[in-house]
Structure 1
Amino acid sequence: MTHTEFLPSKYNRIVTEGKVTFKAPSNIALVKYWGKKEDQIPANPSLSFTLDACATTTSISYAIVKGKGSGFSFEFLFDGKPKPDFEPKILTFFKRIVYYLPFLREYHFTIDTSNSFPHSSGIASSASGMAALALGLMHLEKELDPKITQEFFFRKASFLARLGSGSACRSIEGDLMLWGGHKDIPGSSDLYAIKYPFEVHDVFHGYHDTILLVDKGQKQVSSTVGHDLMHGHPFAEQRFAQAHEHISKLRGVLATGDLKEFISIVESEALTLHAMMMTSRPYFILMKPNTLKIIEKIWAFRATSNTHLCFTLDAGANVHVLYPKDEKEKVNQFIKDELVAYCENGQYICDRIGFGAKRVLPAQV
């Protein structure tokens, strides 16, 4: 499928106003996406777990405006209050997607969003936020063109979300999502994410993710800048090849429930992401001393406890602790006893693997 297949047919209905709400989760990459080409095209494929508790809920109210203008009419609210400093990001998003959603110039939109996690928690909300917004806009397009199928609805939502934030395309569905073309995976695409199409062992269903908030401050380097540093990086091509190789290896790992190899790949991916940042120009160290202490504690506990917890990292200092659901009690006790002391203000978030975004009906809002 090419981008032209997301261009709309002529709309055959008129919708004057309405409101819709979607709740979209964040996600955590097992195989990392780091480095991109033009139009938010990934330099390598990535594989992620969709989360459940860490989510963004976005309500979109829309009303048709008289006289089609050349610009966009919208207001953005965060927790019900105006958030003008976020409006430039929405404007950039609208400019990128108006080619695929031409009705954007015909409506006034009130976008009201909130996160289930604290704003200062250090958890990126761009993936969940852009996914929820894309779904809301697709809801309006489906009202204008009821012939849109559910399969195409989610695919185009993923395509649009990608243009707002690359990893947002993996937050539309779940529980295991692949984004980026890969020779061994039919249907994989750089344009949108797909559900992982192969067998997955029961041990990976209901996996848990406890997020240790090591540093809740402003990110040292934005994701956009970080991705751009892969251009001309001395190890970029080796890194991209490694990601392809890891996804190939994970097919057997996920099918058989080989937790030892799963841990090896996931932790290698996390450390490679940070190695890329440390060896770029300019270079950055995103981990904090407590990040390293937590990793060492995890390694020591895993060696002596007969458990299968492992860590992964995003482009920051926080640590995601992944573990099977049947080890929850033992691992949670270890986290409370040994790891919480390294979190800022002792804060952490308990999450688990979820199944993607959901529409929130009026009675549920």
Structure 2
Amino acid sequence: MFKPKEITKVIDNISIGYSAPSNIALIKYWGKYPIQIPANPSISFTLQNCKTETFIEAKKKTKPTNTFDIEVLVDGKIREDFKPKILKFFERVEPYFSFLKTYFFKIKTHNTFPHSSGIASSASGFATLASCLVRLEQLLSENETENLDVQKTSFVARLGSGSATRSLSGPMMLWGKHKNIENSQDEFAIPHTDIADVFKTYQDVILLVDKGQKQVSSSIGHELMQNHPFAKSRFEQAYKNMSALIEILNNGDLDKFISITENEALSLHAMMMSSQPYYILIKPKTLNIIEQVWEFRKSTKIPLSFTLDAGANVHLLFPKSHKERVLEFINTSLIGYCQNEQYICDNIGQGVIPLS
């Protein structure tokens, strides 16, 4: 779909940097086909503050080799344990770039949020790395435009992490073919901008229930959907919920928004708990928070809702107009459930940006 561009310019040394946010899916993607094709469509809010910043320093080799030569630094420290995943990514994307074996790459990356704790760090990480590679190709092919090729970047990012395909632009991105959604694709995500004003400034406060490494990775979780007894019904549910949510996002019906997105969050974890082998990523404090949110919403009529990613942390979603009251509720009733009383205030953002 995206052929490698012809390299017409010689650049011996160059540094390129991008920042990309995480995203929080409202319709959950869980289960996939080779290679990185989603079993059901998904849609997400693009975040603003939970982001990854990545620089690549590319140094041209004296002569091309048959290997990828990379060095990975996380927070300024060399991390050999990150290297295999990046090498696998380079293998997958090699058909779409002609220069990966002609350069030595030093990859420097930093997250503004905890890694592997249910916030999509792989999404923002691979979104930044894909952005750097696509931009480098644009420069080597003497493409004068300053605009990043977002479609190719989304396509490439997907080959590192499925959810990374949704971290390139905002306020929302939609990934996966749906017969009722024009231009929807399995190979890359598309921006979704046809939303009511209330959603354009929506808030997401992430309660850090558990900042540790997940017991079961998302990659393994996706694989377990292949023989899951409820997989077919789950994919049908997600497809139906997507149809309904697209209309809700347009008309701003918050009650229906809450109903569908909370159902999606609980369905995601139900699939984990009913797979073989089964596993549980939510914690007792996760359930405590959910019950408190339900009680708060019932007593105050404030449209506060929750969603969950593949982890124990809880994303609290609400309109900006209720921010002061919700933060008060968090600090008086929920903060005790957070590890070290930590939470992250975030909001809807606009996606990837270049770094100088």
TM score, norm. by length of structure 2:
0.97
Q: CA deviation at 1:13?
A: 2.1
Give the unaligned 5+ runs of structure 2. none
Q: 1:1-365 alignment to 2 at 5 Å?
A: 5-119=1-115, 123-147=119-143, 153-196=149-192, 199-361=194-356
Render the CA deviation track for 1:147-173: whole Å, top value 9, x for unaligned: 486777111111111000110010111
Given the superposition, is the C-alpha separation of residues 348 and 83 from structure 1 closer, same or farther in structure 2, using an over 3 Å criterion?
A: same
Given the superposition, is the C-alpha separation of residues 135 and 191 from structure 1 closer, same or farther in structure 2, using an over 3 Å criterion?
A: same
Question: C-alpha distance in 1, partners of 2:146/2:265?
Answer: 34
Render the CA deviation track for 1:203-255: whole Å, top value 9, x for unaligned: 10111100011112220111011001111211111111111111111122111
Asked whether the 8 Å contact 1:25–1:56 carries over to 2, the reply is: yes
Render the CA deviation track for 1:302-351: whole Å, top value 9, x for unaligned: 01112101000011111000000011011111111111111111111111
Question: C-alpha distance in 1, partners of 2:243/2:118?
Answer: 31
Given the superposition, is the C-alpha separation of residues 123 and 231 from structure 1 closer, same or farther in structure 2, using an over 3 Å criterion?
A: same
- % of aligned pairs identical? 54
Q: Which amino acid aligns with 2:108?
A: D
Given the superposition, is the C-alpha separation of residues 113 and 9 from structure 1 closer, same or farther in structure 2, using an over 3 Å criterion?
A: closer
Q: Give 3-state SS (helix, strand or coil) of 1:113's partner.
A: strand
Q: Give 3-state SS (helix, strand or coil) of 2:54's partner.
A: strand
Given the superposition, is the C-alpha separation of residues 233 and 218 from structure 1 closer, same or farther in structure 2, using an over 3 Å criterion?
A: same
Asked whether the 8 Å contact 1:203–1:324 carries over to 2, the reply is: yes
Question: C-alpha distance in 2, partners of 1:44/1:268?
Answer: 16
- What's the RMSD between the two structures over aligned residues? 1.4
Q: CA deviation at 1:146?
A: 3.3
Asked whether the 8 Å contact 1:28–1:48 carries over to 2, the reply is: yes
Q: CA deviation at 1:73?
A: 1.1
Question: C-alpha distance in 2, partners of 1:267/1:150?
Answer: 40
Question: C-alpha distance in 1, partners of 2:44/2:120?
Answer: 15
Q: Which amino acid aligns with 1:87?
A: K
Question: C-alpha distance in 1, partners of 2:118/2:40?
Answer: 25
Question: C-alpha distance in 2, partners of 1:21/1:217?
Answer: 28
Asked whether the 8 Å contact 1:56–1:128 carries over to 2, the reply is: yes
Q: CA deviation at 1:196?
A: 1.2
Given the superposition, is the C-alpha separation of residues 336 and 203 from structure 1 closer, same or farther in structure 2, using an over 3 Å criterion?
A: same
Give the unaligned 5+ runs of structure 1. none
Asked whether the 8 Å contact 1:36–1:228 carries over to 2, the reply is: yes
Asked whether the 8 Å contact 2:127–2:153 carries over to 1, the reply is: yes
Q: CA deviation at 1:122?
A: 5.2
Moved more, 152-161 or 53-62: 152-161
Question: C-alpha distance in 2, partners of 1:342/1:51?
Answer: 23
Given the superposition, is the C-alpha separation of residues 120 and 158 from structure 1 closer, same or farther in structure 2, using an over 3 Å criterion?
A: closer
Q: Which amino acid aligns with 2:278?
A: Y
Question: C-alpha distance in 1, partners of 2:210/2:57?
Answer: 35
Q: CA deviation at 1:79?
A: 1.3
Question: C-alpha distance in 1, partners of 2:245/2:116?
Answer: 34
Question: C-alpha distance in 2, partners of 1:20/1:151?
Answer: 14
Render the CA deviation track for 1:108-157: whole Å, top value 9, x for unaligned: 11110111124476534111111000000111100022348677711111
Asked whether the 8 Å contact 1:291–1:317 carries over to 2, the reply is: yes
Q: Which amino acid aligns with 2:202?
A: Y
Aligned residues: 356
Q: Give 3-state SS (helix, strand or coil) of 2:35's partner.
A: helix
